[in-house]
């Protein structure tokens, strides 16, 4: 994303707070898209549309270059007395520091890397479970991805913990906050909750939920996997005890990332080998970290920080934290336009039933992830037809296991899910809508065409 290919920011007075601009206009969006080599993939004679972001996003050149560079020059194990190991260790240290900036953590000691969010959550839940007693309570929700449910459910059997469920309001797929309030009690030890739904896109009022949990004396474990590609995260402002996300969902390599308040990471006993450090983050990072992936994540942060400087109003002197937060504000502003347009386009498809928040006036309560059914068609058939056209979408339950059941859709193949991120183009919404209208029209008139 060289500067000369992007519109320059207007000079702001030193007292004007930075204002994030959306990535709009052909030149700006083309420059951003050019950063992602995968986006130039062709499909037959046409283009390819990545609407599978909720399953995993594409990565910018900076990520690819950093991964290759690590493997070419600094590939070594930890704590050796030789230059490549020293270089590798400084990359690992820098990745922790940058991830702390991305999340708003106090420092690198609060950042733990692992294989993915699921593995980290099983590790932390086992460690928390060690101190729980029969009758202690954990709250989970029917909106969450199962990776923030199953690890806690296992403690029912292992430790005699009581699980309390918070449901959703089916009409708009929002969390039942009154249900949460009444589930909280003196025995509640932890509330496991998502920041945004990976199925229907609902953003949860996470600050309020953390406050409710803390008032009851419970810890919070926030799954921010689906929020991280769409909005700035500030763990200090949220006050959460834990927060997890997955870099491969926000333009980085396959990795998991856990934030834990330093006192929590220190006080809990981790399952670890004896020679491993006794302090966080090392005590939580079992075995050898994937150095090339951490290097790649540094490339992702470099890309995002540039986005924050060029569009987000973060000046050249802004800190990395400020630049990253500005990037996410730009991404949010960009996605707002995509969300409004996608909502209107999907609602215009005959027979399409969208679940979740569908009122355009409430667009700020959701991310641009949309799940729907189409009358008379199985979600897998629709995904397959779109896939043949070069439009990548998901179908099924995407492990939002309870949500799909709560909506009564488990037996009928779940829903089709399309997700937009900042590199998607308005033209891709149009392309999707045209394809869906064609599928819907063909479905609505099979007997006529067959007779």
Ligand X SMILES: Cc1ncc(COP(=O)(O)O)c(C=O)c1O
Residue 359 CB neighbours (<10 A):
10
103-111, 219-227, 369-377, 404-412 -> range binding ligand X (CB under 6 A): 219-227
CB of 397 vs ligand X, minimal distance in Å: 11
Element housing 228 (H / E): none
Does residue 374 sit in helix, strand or coil? strand
Distance CA 195, CA 221 (A): 10
Fill in the per-residue mask, 390 to 429: x = in contact with ligand X (CB under 6 A), - = not in contact: ----------------------------------------
Fill in the per-residue mask, 178 to 217: x = in contact with ligand X (CB under 6 A), - = not in contact: ----------------x---x-------------------
Percentages helix, strand, coil for the chain (3-state, rounded to 5) are 45, 15, 40
147 contacts ligand X (rule: CB under 6 A): yes
Does residue 222 sit in helix, strand or coil? strand
221-229, 301-309, 352-360, 366-374 -> range binding ligand X (CB under 6 A): 221-229
247 contacts ligand X (rule: CB under 6 A): no
* 393 CB-near residues (< 8 Å, 6+ apart): 51, 52, 382, 383, 386, 387, 416, 417, 418, 432
58 contacts ligand X (rule: CB under 6 A): no
Q: Which is nearer to ligand X, 242 or 311 (CB)?
A: 242
Nearest to 265 by CA among 142, 96, 387: 96
How far apart are the two ends of the chain, measured CA to CA in Å? 55
246 contacts ligand X (rule: CB under 6 A): yes
CB of 198 vs ligand X, minimal distance in Å: 3
CB of 204 vs ligand X, minimal distance in Å: 11
CB of 330 vs ligand X, minimal distance in Å: 23
Distance CA 143, CA 139 (A): 12
Subset of residues 96 to 135 that bind ligand X, contact rule: CB under 6 A: 116-118
Residues in the chain: 451
369 contacts ligand X (rule: CB under 6 A): no
Distance CA 346, CA 338 (A): 12
Q: Which is nearer to ligand X, 116 or 334 (CB)?
A: 116
CB 114 within 8 A of CB 124: no
Strand runs labelled E in 188-320: 188-194, 219-223, 242-245, 256-260
Binding-site member from 142, 226, 417, 431 for ligand X (CB under 6 A): 226
Number of residues that bind ligand X (CB under 6 A): 12
* 418 CB-near residues (< 8 Å, 6+ apart): 51, 342, 346, 369, 370, 393, 394, 432
Q: Which is nearer to ligand X, 5 or 380 (CB)?
A: 380
Binding-site member from 225, 314, 367, 393 for ligand X (CB under 6 A): 225
CB of 438 vs ligand X, minimal distance in Å: 29
Which residues make up the interface to ligand X (CB under 6 A)?
116-118, 145, 147, 194, 198, 223, 225-226, 246, 256
């Amino acid at each position: 994303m060289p500067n000369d290919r992007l519109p320059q920011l207007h000079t702001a007075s030193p007292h004007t707070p930075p204002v994030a601009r959306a990535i709009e206009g052909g030149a700006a969006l083309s420059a951003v898209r050019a950063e992602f080599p995968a986006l130039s993939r062709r499909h037959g004679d046409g283009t390819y549309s990545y609407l599978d972001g909720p399953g995993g996003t594409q990565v910018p050149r900076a990520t690819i270059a950093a991964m290759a560079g690590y493997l070419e020059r600094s590939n070594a194990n930890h704590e050796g007395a030789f230059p490549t190991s020293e270089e590798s260790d400084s990359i690992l240290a820098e990745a922790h520091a940058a991830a702390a900036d991305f999340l708003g953590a106090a420092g690198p000691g609060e950042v733990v890397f692992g294989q993915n969010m699921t593995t980290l959550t099983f590790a932390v839940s086992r460690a928390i479970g060690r101190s729980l007693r029969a009758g202690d309570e954990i709250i989970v929700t029917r909106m969450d991805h199962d990776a923030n449910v199953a690890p806690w459910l296992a403690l029912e059997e292992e430790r005699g913990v009581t699980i309390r469920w918070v449901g959703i309001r089916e009409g708009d797929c929002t969390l039942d906050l009154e249900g949460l309030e009444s589930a909280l009690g003196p025995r509640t030890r932890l509330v496991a909750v998502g920041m945004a739904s990976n199925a229907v896109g609902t953003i949860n009022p996470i600050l309020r939920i953390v406050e409710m949990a803390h008032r009851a004396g419970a810890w919070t474990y926030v799954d921010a996997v689906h929020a991280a590609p769409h909005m700035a995260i500030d763990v200090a402002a949220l006050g959460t005890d834990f927060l997890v996300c997955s870099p491969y969902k926000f333009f980085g390599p396959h990795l998991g990332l856990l934030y834990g308040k330093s006192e929590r990471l220190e006080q809990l006993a981790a399952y670890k080998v004896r020679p491993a450090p006794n302090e966080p983050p090392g005590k939580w990072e079992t075995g050898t970290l994937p150095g090339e992936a951490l290097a790649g994540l540094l490339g992702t942060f470099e890309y995002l920080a540039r986005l924050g400087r060029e569009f987000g109003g973060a000046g050249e002197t802004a800190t990395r934290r400020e630049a990253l937060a500005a990037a996410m504000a730009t991404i949010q502003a960009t996605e707002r336009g995509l969300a409004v347009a996608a909502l209107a386009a999907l609602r215009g498809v005959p027979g399409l039933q969208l679940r979740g928040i569908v009122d355009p006036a409430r667009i700020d309560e959701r991310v641009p992830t949309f799940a729907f059914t189409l009358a008379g068609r199985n979600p897998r058939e629709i995904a397959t037809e779109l896939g043949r056209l070069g439009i990548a979408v998901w179908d099924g339950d995407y492990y939002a296991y309870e949500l799909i059941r709560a909506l009564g859709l488990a037996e009928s193949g779940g829903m089709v899910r399309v997700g937009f991120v900042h590199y998607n183009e308005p033209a891709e919404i149009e392309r999707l809508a045209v394809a869906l209208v064609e599928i819907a029209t063909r479905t609505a008139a099979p007997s006529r065409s067959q007779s």
